[in-house]
Every structure is written in structure tokens, then in C-alpha cells.
Amino acid sequence: MSRKIRSTAILAKIETTAGTLATPASTDAILISDASFDVDYKNVDRNLIRPYFGHSGQLVGTRNVKIGFTCELFGSGTAGTAPAWGALLQACAFAETVAAGVSVEYTPVTSGLKTISILYHLDGITHTALGCMGNVTFGMKDGERPTMKFEFIGIDGGPAAASMPTTSYTNWKVPAVVNSINSNKIKLGGAYAAAAVTGGTDYCSRGFEISMANDVKYLPLLGCTSVDIFDRKPTSSIALELTAAQEVAMRADINANTKTSMSLLHGLTAGNKVLMFAPNVARSNPKYEDYEGSVLVAMDLALEPLTGNDEIRIVSL
């Protein structure tokens, strides 16, 4: 009988020591909608010279694991309680700050980065990946699920024949679709304080995606193999519905390199809200977009730091 690609389970847990297995429990299972697994080999050609043609073979060299999957983005269900995806963001160079009974905030960090162990089970085989760090792309697009697309690199801990691990998805909540019922308008120019954004101007839009664009590298040093993050350059794009006067003003701001903040609040009830706030966004390359016959003004975005480690703030409310 064939093995089934849908018989897949992924579990992940923050490591106490980078590269040392943190054994995930059933509650560390990740609810995914797609997944990929690959061992990236850096094999070495022998390049032998002999008095005849023929392949001289390769030697198996260093290797690392690449794991990708998509999760839904949601509040934990209880304000001030960390959501199930919190550990994944921490392995993408985010810090977690809990305000009991109020909110949980995730903000970028440059030092003190954390790693996770990932168990990737595919119908009878469990692959272990250690010291994993990665990149995340947040999806908040109109008419779609709110999502986080993760791409992790890890140290190959090898495969083993194993039965399906026990999984519990009770901490993974059902999200609301991104639309005008469940989501606020995109706000530009607002100010963030106490888990809320005030002021600014609201705009109709089609939502956005934000990639943290982390520079994740596998470092196969002799005796010190590891994965690390060396930089990030978060990017996005938006398409807004503007009045003629708003378009003229926005193009003037873009031409003058004037930065703005950007935010979006998704969700309706306490414990089920997610706020995304970027304080220092550079806009560029404005162009027209035809959306069902109406005019939108699209532009590229670069999320820049304001005072450092603050390019974006993800808040579970």
C-alpha cells in the first residue's frame, strides 16, 4: 500500500541550547495547510583524471534541512495568552512580550535569537531538524485566510522509521476571513500606544503581504555547525483606493521620501484580534491597478526601523 502525502504532522519546540533537541510534546503540533521538506546536499565532485572518459563520482558533503509550511494567523482566544504560533515567530528573530490579560506582542530582535527543533513526520518516517531558524511572510489579503508562511533551515538530525506521533491542535483557533466584516481598513499615519493605534487616515484596500526577508544561513563550520540570521529587510506592497486629492498628496510624499506608519487590525472580539503595526514605512513605485474597473494606486513598501528592532509589531489581543 502506498504512503500518503497527507499523512503529515509537524511538531516544533524552542530549544534551550541551540542545536540540541528539544523534544516536542503533542501540544507542540502545528496545524498546517501545506508543507514541504528537503535535504539540501552540498556534494563534492572528485574530478579524477584517468586515461579514459567517465564519471569520477561525488562525495557526500555537508547537508542541511529545509522545511516550509503555512499556518493560519489568529488570536489565542484569551487576551494576554500567547498564541500557538508564538514559538515559530521567535525562531524567525522575534521576541515575545506578554501583558497578562491584555496582549502578547511580537517584535523583531537582532541578538538573543532563538532556535527550534522540528519533527517532520511523513507516513512512517520522522525527520528531525535541529537549530532551526527561518523567515516568515504574513498574509492579510482581502477574501483570504490570514496566514503565516514559514521557511526554516535546520541541521539534519536524520530520519527514523516511526509511527505517527500524537498530536493535539486544541490551541490552534479558527481564524476569520480577511474582509470588510472582520477587518478594519488599512491605516496610514497612526500612532501606536498600549496595544492600540490612534489617529492617521483609513484607506480601502485589498490587504497586503509582508515578508520579513530574513537572511538565514547554514554554517557548516568544523565542529560548530549551526544556523543563524544575519540581517532582515522587510518588504510589502499595497493597493489603495484614493480620491484624486489623496493621490496627488501621496505621490508628493513618495517623491519627497516621506515615511509613514501602517497598521491593520483583524478580528472582532477580545482574544481573537491581531494587530499589525509598522512605524516607519517607505513607499515607492506608485502605479495604477485596475480592480474590477475601479482605480487603485499600488505601491511597493519597505518596512524600515525607526529606533531599531521595531520595523513591525504583531499584537495578539
Query: In this structure, how many other beta carbons lie within 10 angstroms of the beta carbon of residue 237?
Result: 14
User: What local confidence, expressed as pLDDT, does residue 12 receive?
Assistant: 98
In a domain, 261, yes or no: yes
In a domain, 170, yes or no: yes
Burial of residue 118 (number of CB atoms within 10 Å: 0-12, 13-18, 19+): buried
63/42 Cα distance (integer angstroms): 6
**Number of structural domains in the chain:** 1
- The parent domain of residue 155 ranges over 8-42+60-316
In a domain, 55, yes or no: no
Instruction: Per residue of the chain (317 residues), give pLDDT as tens.
Output: 799 999 999 999 999 999 999 999 999 999 999 999 999 999 999 999 999 999 999 999 999 999 999 999 999 999 999 999 999 999 999 999 999 999 999 999 999 999 999 999 999 999 999 999 999 999 999 999 999 999 999 999 999 999 999 999 999 999 999 999 999 999 999 999 999 999 999 999 999 999 999 999 999 999 999 999 999 999 999 999 999 999 999 999 999 999 999 999 999 999 999 999 999 999 999 999 999 999 999 999 999 999 999 999 999 99
In a domain, 2, yes or no: no
In a domain, 28, yes or no: yes
317/314 Cα distance (integer angstroms): 10
136/147 Cα distance (integer angstroms): 10
User: What local confidence, expressed as pLDDT, does residue 83 receive?
Assistant: 97
In a domain, 50, yes or no: no
User: What local confidence, expressed as pLDDT, does residue 1 receive?
Assistant: 78
273/73 Cα distance (integer angstroms): 10
Q: Closest Cα partner for 238 from 282, 192, 198?
A: 282
User: What local confidence, expressed as pLDDT, does residue 85 receive?
Assistant: 98
User: What local confidence, expressed as pLDDT, does residue 103 receive?
Assistant: 97
User: What local confidence, expressed as pLDDT, does residue 269 receive?
Assistant: 95
In a domain, 279, yes or no: yes
189/195 Cα distance (integer angstroms): 16
pTM of the model: 0.96
In a domain, 253, yes or no: yes
